Structure 1
Amino acid sequence: MKSFNNDWPLVSIVSVNWNQEQLTREMLDSLSHVTYPNLEVILVDNGSTKGDASRLKAEFPHIRFLRLEENTGFAGGNNAGFRMANGKYVLLLNNDTLVDPHFLQPMVNTLECDPWVGVVSPKIYFVDHQNTVQYAGTSEIHPITSRGQKYGYRQRDGEQYAKSGVTGLANGACMLVRKRIIDTLGGLPEIYFLYYEEHDFTVQLQRHGYVAYYQADASIWHRGSSSTGRGSTLKAYFYHRNRLLFVRRNQRGMQYLLALAYLFGIAYPKAFLSYALSRQWAHIRAMASALGWHLSRADIRPINRMFVPTR
């Protein structure tokens, strides 16, 4: 699959597998049909305890394979792959995705044509409802709720989602990033382990003067929550923990106080009530553990917001 075509910059595709051998196999098979002429594929096995991911290396001999002895989380696994990347651009691609053969060219063109764009994400559909949108860009992250509105989420695709443009957040299932930005920021913030990493990464990228971009002419399909499971206690733990972590790392002053008031006055009580009404006691314990984690992390401070041009 790797080709040295001087007309197109090298793209390093990094994907992380954790106990998902068959899904990863399907993703790699879809990548084998990609028409972009100059790429390398790096597969990181993140301490899997099920299956034998080394079989994938035998089945797809063109990939570069790295096995980690323990699960270092979404950020840690991807960062290990980033360190192996030789490309001008690095594509973070979830292992539970399927790609259109032509998805890369429009994304690369965006970065080649506009030096202000730091990260590009494609239009993303649900695998099980192939014309239903999962991602078509977002609003900016709201400083109080720490969330952005997802455009097109669970809507049938249409002309309203066919326009490319600057967006609030990249999507962690598939995002093409300039390698020098990864080097400048130090990769994804590993303190999150799982969830909210791309939020934090996009915000730091924007503080360095770049923008995130939604490329409607590129498309992939994504299952979502394949490693953790939909509605799992693991997902609940990291979601609640990391939402507050994002606030602590990225808000200051009055916005910080308002964000805390929103989380503890509205968001967390609402989640607690929802879990209680549905008798999801394990989820309540997970949320309590998530918030308890913060009691032992007084060292977390807001990230320096100073603008440092890197282009």
Structure 2
Amino acid sequence: MNTPKVSIITVNYKQPGVTCELLDSIRELTYPNLETIIIDNGQMGDDSHIFSMYLPDVKVINVSENSGFAKGNNIGLEAASGDFLLLLNNDTEIENGLIEGLLDTLKDQSIGAVSPVIKFFDNHEVQFAGFTEINPITGRNEIIRKPSQTKLSDTPYIHGAAVMISRRVLDDCGGLPEDYFLYYEELDWSRIIRSKGYTLKVLNTVSILHKESVSTGKNSPLKVYYQTRNRVHFMQKAGSGSSILFSVYFILISLPKNLITHFIKGEKEHARAFKKAFSHSIMEKRFGFQIF
């Protein structure tokens, strides 16, 4: 049986308990050739002894600053020795069959990366079974929540919570773009991988459980800020025509709509975060000054 080495990489930020639950699920896997790497962001000490209680051979890399999702994963990718790399959010849990299924998919060398179906941890409803393309004007797209009846389905973007890529494709395309910090980096990475001629897939026969937004909160001002700022940044990188149309849409429609919604809900901090993201991402970058 061919069992290439698989490196599992996860980023922890002040959530050792959540990460240990992931390690618990990794320990139950029967795939024989695994390496697990934790990037412990914002770590001034060393929790290696805690993690090794749950997975004795886990490799822990302590990073004193909070380097963000993309850079944290890239540190892990650089340290990994596997022929295949599986990026997992630390707030996920996995089970047998996942590794084997993803590896089998990547036997097709035209496939650049593959994600499993992702289900919510609490109720096991489908969170992700693919994405639609991002609209060049609104900068929005949809998450596909119903898995295809076929084994594999195409997706324009993989999901950063769970994705496997081969060492060969990583060497060809590079790691995750680090100019996002949180959110949208896997969408930009997907765009880079596709630009090299690879396809992206969802494997509908395997799934993981995702506790979702444990680090940032499901509806926090921090999440609003980074999702808004990086949505704009992603669209600005898409090209001049699309970027201009999107900027007009964002200023005339998205900005007032979101501010009104947050104020109606009494979410003053969320409104502040949205204004700050707008000021940083459009006003400062395009016009050279901030207004909020």
Match of 1:284 among 240, 265, 271: 271
Q: After superposing the two structures, state which structure 1 stretch, 186-195 or 40-49, moved more.
A: 40-49
Q: How does 1:264-283 map to 2 (within 5 A)?
A: 264-283=251-270
CA-CA distance at 1:291 after TM superposition: 1.9
Alpha-carbon distance in 1 for matches of 2:25, 2:212: 17
Q: Which residue of 2 aligns with 1:240?
A: 228
Q: Which residue of 2 aligns with 1:151?
A: 144
Q: Check whether the contact 1:21–1:51 (CA below 8 A) recurs between aligned residues.
A: no
RMSD between aligned residues: 2.2
Return closer, same or farther for 1:83/1:298 CA change in 2, 3 Å cut-off: farther
Alpha-carbon distance in 2 for matches of 1:270, 1:260: 14
Write the deviation string for residues 27-61 of structure 1: whole angstroms up to 9, x where unpaired.
01001111222221111101147994641134422
1:198 aligns with 2:183: no
Q: Which residue of 2 aligns with 1:85?
A: 80
| TM-score relative to the length of structure 2 | 0.92
1:211 aligns with 2:205: no
1:136 aligns with 2:129: yes
Q: Check whether the contact 1:148–1:168 (CA below 8 A) recurs between aligned residues.
A: no
CA-CA distance at 1:71 after TM superposition: 0.4
Q: Which residue of 2 aligns with 1:45?
A: 40
Amino acid at match of 1:91: L
SS at match of 2:11: strand
Q: Check whether the contact 2:158–2:202 (CA below 8 A) recurs between aligned residues.
A: yes
Q: Check whether the contact 2:116–2:206 (CA below 8 A) recurs between aligned residues.
A: yes
SS at match of 1:203: helix
Alpha-carbon distance in 1 for matches of 2:43, 2:261: 33
1:110 aligns with 2:98: no
Over the matched positions of the two proteins, sequence identity in percent amounts to 38
Amino acid at match of 2:245: L
Aligned residues: 287
Return closer, same or farther for 1:12/1:20 CA change in 2, 3 Å cut-off: same
Alpha-carbon distance in 1 for matches of 2:144, 2:149: 8
CA-CA distance at 1:80 after TM superposition: 0.7
- Structure 2: stretches of 5+ with no match in the other structure: 288-292
- Structure 1: stretches of 5+ with no match in the other structure: 1-5, 300-311
Write the deviation string for residues 88-145 of structure 1: whole angstroms up to 9, x where unpaired.
2111100000112211111110101x11110100011100002x10011122222222
CA-CA distance at 1:163 after TM superposition: 4.2
Q: Check whether the contact 1:42–1:85 (CA below 8 A) recurs between aligned residues.
A: yes
Q: After superposing the two structures, state which structure 1 stretch, 78-87 or 135-144, moved more.
A: 135-144
**Segments ≥4 residues shifted beyond 6 Å:** none
Alpha-carbon distance in 2 for matches of 1:297, 1:257: 13
Alpha-carbon distance in 2 for matches of 1:276, 1:139: 30
Q: Which residue of 1 aligns with 2:290?
A: none
Q: Which residue of 1 aligns with 2:91?
A: 96
